[in-house]
Structure 1
Amino acid sequence: MYLGAEAWPDLGSYFDDESLAIVPLGSTEQHGPHLPEATDHLIAEAFAREAAERTGFLCTPTVNIGVSSHHRQFHGTMWVSPPAFREYVESLTRNLTYHGVDRVVYVNAHGGNIPHLREVGRRLREDHDAYAIEWMWNESIPDLVDELFEQSGPHGGPKETAMIQHLAPELVHDDRLADARDGGIPSVADAGTVRHGARTFYDAADNTENGVLGDQTDSTAAKGERMFEAATEQLVALCEWLSRQEFDDLLPREHV
């Protein structure tokens, strides 16, 4: 069920019977010369909507802009500050608790959002208001990603390219895949910006001239479809598991 498509009287029965919501989050940022800036939020929304369709759980509208200032040197990248992002997501989640939701799955497709979503989830749990956890699609299927790609990215690489080739092929510049590969770097290790155990980079531009990593020519829509199906199964299983839990069992333990 997609919240934005429903009239308010028709949502009452959901909140009477269910207490779980799926919240997709991504970013609007550069993904190299071949992928749209919407890459992350398109992926997050696709997973969230599909899981909601399969399970009947409620899916909210997508948070399209995240913590992305590390891509700011590239045209069009949008971002909010980490405190603003955390405050917004926490407020949005507390809005859901007003309607009776007490557990939330953040379907996230942008690495820069991860620590901030974890912090919001911790705050909500410590306040006993909600149990909110972050889910990242590629982290749910690491073995399949390793099987499909020799070097998956991480950013704008064949993993994300294949996913958009499957979900929105009209937005992929297939004629630029070789340029994306040749103008980027295979991995962060190849950038030489980890020195004596320290990460000396802060921005994507410190590592790669065109903003991306990996071999984009190793991507296909068929690989994207395999990953989408496998990760959706994991997300569905997570939502169903979380729905079955007693809320008190999800709260912090007492002091030992």
Structure 2
Amino acid sequence: MQLHLSSWPEIEGYLKTSKAILIPIGSTEQHGPNGLLGTDALCPEIIAKRAGDESGILVAPTFNVGQAQHHMAFPGTITLKPSTMIAAMKDWAESLGRHGFERLYWLNGHGGNINTINAAFSEIYHGIS
């Protein structure tokens, strides 16, 4: 089940049985002259969809832009400032939490996101506590 392909009544029903959501997170950046720009977003998205199908956990839309400043020399790369990414992750968590989601599982596909994701987790945790 995918959040963006569901109606709000379907999500309301889901929340009666589960408070979990899986959020794929990646990047849009170069992967050589023949690689897809979306590789780092597609991989966690595909894994999340499969995991969701097998476990029944709802899958959120893919957060497909991340930390890619080091790839900006390559056309098509899209990047976020760390502060923007942290703010967006916090907004996603706040929105989902407001509707009753209590377990947010972020599935990262891009190594360049790790430090920013950890900083966002710290801010999310301390904002909830």
Bin the TM-score by the shorter chain. Answer: over 0.9
The equivalent residue for 1:98 is 98
Matched, 1:108 2:108: yes
Rounded to whole Å, the distance in 2 between the matches of 1:90 and 1:126 is: 11
Amino-acid identity (%): 33
Higher mean C-alpha deviation, range 53-62 or range 10-19: 10-19
Instruction: Report how many residues are paired.
Output: 129
The equivalent residue for 2:83 is 83
Query: Offset at 1:126?
Result: 2.2
Matched, 1:19 2:19: yes
The equivalent residue for 1:31 is 31
Relative contact order, CA 8 A, sep 6+: which one is greater? 2
Query: Offset at 1:67?
Result: 0.9
Question: Secondary structure at 2:106's aligned position in 1?
Answer: strand
Structure-1-length-normalised TM-score: 0.49
Instruction: Give the partner amino acid of 2:8.
Output: W
Question: Secondary structure at 2:100's aligned position in 1?
Answer: coil
Deviation sequence 1:167-226 (CA, Å, 0-9, x none):
xxxxxxxxxxxxxxxxxxxxxxxxxxxxxxxxxxxxxxxxxxxxxxxxxxxxxxxxxxxx
The equivalent residue for 2:65 is 65
Query: Offset at 1:34?
Result: 2.0
Rounded to whole Å, the distance in 1 between the matches of 2:13 and 2:111 is: 35
Instruction: Give the partner amino acid of 2:40.
Output: D
Question: Secondary structure at 2:16's aligned position in 1?
Answer: helix
Rounded to whole Å, the distance in 2 between the matches of 1:21 and 1:56 is: 10
Query: Offset at 1:36?
Result: 0.7
Query: Offset at 1:127?
Result: 3.0
Rounded to whole Å, the distance in 1 between the matches of 2:118 and 2:17 is: 27
Runs in 1 of length 4+ with deviation above 3 angstroms? none
Question: Secondary structure at 2:128's aligned position in 1?
Answer: coil
Structure-2-length-normalised TM-score: 0.94
Query: Offset at 1:12?
Result: 1.1
Query: Offset at 1:95?
Result: 0.5
Query: Offset at 1:41?
Result: 0.7
